[in-house]
Chains A and B, each alone.
Chain A
């Protein structure tokens, strides 16, 4: 299982283009193992979503990669540097957006972005101008009207967009986003997705994000990593995960004024039978393939109920 859904370790992986390289990462608090051998790779320009139930170790993993937490064991390379020993030049290439910030409430939006941008100016290169043009950045995150406002006066969603702006003001090569869209309305959410895609496509920024929202993971991420029980139990695109993990589809229909739902591994066969039996009496037919959420839930449920081996084998069978 460990080798599935990612390229085998070979020369290609250690060379150019690998931005995050995690091998056998372990973290132990007291006598509790939070991470037990996490392994994954992120390549330049890739958007990765770390998904998992609460307490699975998502935040711990991200904090180790950010260089904010010491690991117990394992090898970690972030932009070719061990984050535990990352210096300020390394720090300049990394952007961090944490779950909750309340800092700099007395500062004004533009004022703070200009200030924080100053630290990055010496790290600019001809190919990567640092920092971002602040006015452009403020427009990009949709805070144009609020540039002169105090940060403490921003709403929750605006504050979050401000955090994202601060995270990218230094034009990072790698961006960590911990639950980035908490408090966003649907419109802000859509704009944020556009921003993430723009960063990844145009700026070649590698993005590692965590989210609880599977729909969001599906829209944003090139690849989804599911972390449960301290290891990565699945690693693949949303399509791969949902198509291959869950074998059952949902069939809905109504008959004689009543609604029915049925799950079946072979919906075509089932519907054929349904029509054979009831013919034209069937209406409102709907066949829905298993969503990412279904596959995620079944995967995690199986894993948590102690049938780790089975879940892993099943995944191996379908992917392999």
Chain B
């Protein structure tokens, strides 16, 4: 067999193994379930609230928005976090020391993060479908839109997440990503229609993938009439493809360069050095 194909095959199995590990780990499952549960409970209590200017439940509107946000979050923040942690504990160096190991590692990681996104999606969508009325779940068009938005969203965010994870020096610098991301979530029309925000804020949100993923998911799962509450009164599929596509292209160009640079710097003493630093910070 060709060595690269063997590594891709190993990477696919790796993704499966890691996904199984995370799904059988109590701590990981708690992380998956905790925030969606809080969100669903809050939205349930607010179920009487309507999207301004419509008769549609704010709770039902926010279900697809939150799914979009989770996809963006998984690709950008979770992947970056995993990369930083696995750089610290030597997993990346192990991949580097293995023939074609980096290829297998990345294939595995893409699959793991994609699988985690699917799991998060189900955790919000399944209870959401029972708790809130108004989502279109019975049409093929809904599911095919959901599929392409999800796929495009993963391609737009995973390479960028890898870039962020490679550039950040350590776990303590994750705050530099988390805080602005939280701010973006607040302004991207996830929990409240973006048209209620000042125009300059709308423009900032429209630069980043979170808004577009939320919009794409709403276009998949909400009735066509709800497009009226969006910017320009439309689901703007072309613009969604354009912006997410640009992120994807930028990420796919940058990621190999940045990842290679990061991998080149990994060595036994760099891993040991970081470990020592971590021990000084937190001896227990």
Contacts and interface: CB of A to CB of B under 8 A. Distances in A.
B236 interface: no
A170 B99 contact: yes
Contacts, number: 97
Contacts of B118: none
B91 A68 contact: no
Interface of A: 59-60, 62-63, 66, 68-69, 88-89, 91-92, 96, 98-107, 111, 115-116, 118-123, 166, 170, 178
Interface in B92-120: 93-94, 96-101, 104
A92 B104 CA distance: 14
16 contacts: A63-B269, A68-B266, A91-B100, A98-B90, A98-B93, A98-B97, A99-B268, A100-B90, A101-B90, A103-B91, A106-B25, A111-B17, A115-B14, A119-B10, A119-B104, A170-B99
A101 B89 CA distance: 7
B13 A69 contact: no
A111 B271 CA distance: 24
A29 to B, nearest CB: 11
Contacts of A166: 94
B165 to A, nearest CB: 16
Nearest to A118: B10
Contacts of A104: 91, 94
Query: Which 4 A-B pairs rank lowest in CB-CB distance, beginning with the nearest?
Result: A92-B99, A68-B267, A98-B268, A103-B91
B271 A98 contact: yes
B228 to A, nearest CB: 48
A171 to B, nearest CB: 12
Interface residues of B, number: 34
Q: Is the interface of B mostly helix, strand, loop or mixed?
A: helix
A98 B93 CA distance: 10
Contacts of B90: 98, 100-103
A27 to B, nearest CB: 12
A166 B97 CA distance: 10
Contact of A100 (B21, B96, B104, B272): B272
B25 A91 contact: no
A201 B51 CA distance: 77
Contacts of B275: 100, 102
Given A118-B9, A118-B10, A123 B99 contact: yes
B21 A89 contact: no
A69 B9 CA distance: 29
